[in-house]
Structure formats: C-alpha cells, structure tokens
Structure 1
C-alpha cells in the first residue's frame, strides 16, 4: 500500500497515517468502516469499547460470540455499530495496539532529538 505509514494491524483491521497529509489524524479501518481520528478520539473510542464489553448477548442466541448484538458507540455521537463479542475484542486490540505504537514512536522520536 503506497502512500501510507502503517501503525498497527490485526485480524479485523488496520491503522495508518496518510503520507501526503501532515495532520495528526489516524485512519482506522475495520470491517467496511473507516474513521479519521486524533489520539484523544482513539482513547474515547477505547472507553466506549470498554463500556460495550459490559453488555451481554441474549442467553438463547444460537450464534453465540458471532452474534452482532452488541451496540458499540463510536467517537461520533451520530454513529454506532452492531458488533459481535469477537469483533469487539479485536477492535479493542486494534485501538490499544494503535495507541501503543503512536506513543512508542513519539517517545522514541523525542529521545532521538536529544
């Protein structure tokens, strides 16, 4: 993929910076949805994932952890998504991995300046 700097990826998605864009927005893509988020918005999204983990699937669901019965709020008040428990854990990993890499890269860049 030309024109991007990958930050993190897993089974559900990928996060990256557009090389042509000087902003601090991170492109996060999972399933068929893309978000342009700042670091604080990624943190907010992670909080919303944590809140969604408290939801329970219906006890009689035949699809179990593959059932998209969990409502995940996004950093946009106008957008929410129906996800499965498996997808929720993968989104959690994608967000945490992205934040870790961003912070690690920022830390290393600061050390190298000295």
Structure 2
C-alpha cells in the first residue's frame, strides 16, 4: 500500500492512484473487479449508475434489496455487472466520493500554482 495514493474508500471498495505513475488514470476496485479510468470515464460511470437506479426490481423476488437483479453498465461497452440495490448504493458512493476528491485535488493544485 506504500506505492499508492488513496483517493477514497468505503465498505465496497477503494480508489487510488499509483504514486510513481505519470498517467491520469484512477484505479477503482470493488468486489473482485478493478477499473483503470480517466476522470471523464468516472463521470460516465456515474451516469450509468444513475440509469441503473431507475431499473425496477423483479416482482416475485424474495431477496429484496440484496437481489443481484440490477444490470450495471460500465464505461467499457464490453463489461456490465449484476449488482444488488445495496451494492449499487455503495458503488454510487464510491464513484461520487472519488470524483469529488479528484475535483477538489485538481482545484487545490491549480489554486496553489497561482
């Protein structure tokens, strides 16, 4: 963990940047999946999460909010995930927290340059 700069974390995952990397990619890890995303892709992911929140639950499901019946599209058009309502809320928090912290860091860095 010494080689990373943590951006944000919650119960489902973590986002970070590699300390010695010149790329503008943020690593977002949740469940068993890792994403390497630019800021614009994180914004796109947030939109896809919002779209997934509009999906209706199965009418006959007995698992309630723990049912993995929500299809979450990712910024990669080749990857989608089945998540529960609970997981979707946690992923939403992870992505929003990451985006907020990135924007705050960018603002502070630009402010300190002046």
Match in the other structure for 2:2:
2
**1:31 to 2:28 alignment:** no
Q: What are the within-5 Å matches in structure 2 for residues 1-114 of structure 1?
A: 1-114=1-114
TM-score normalised per structure 1: 0.97
SS of the residue aligned with 1:35? strand
Offset, 1:91? 0.6
* Aligned counterparts of 2:57 and 2:79: Cα–Cα separation in 1: 21
Please tell me the root mean square deviation across aligned C-alpha atoms, in Å: 0.7
* Aligned counterparts of 1:21 and 1:111: Cα–Cα separation in 2: 23
SS of the residue aligned with 1:106? helix
TM-score normalised per structure 2: 0.97
- Unaligned stretches of 5+ residues in structure 1: none
Task: Give the stretch that moved more between structures: 28-37 or 16-25.
Answer: 16-25
* Aligned counterparts of 1:20 and 1:27: Cα–Cα separation in 2: 14
Offset, 1:20? 2.1
* Aligned counterparts of 1:39 and 1:106: Cα–Cα separation in 2: 11
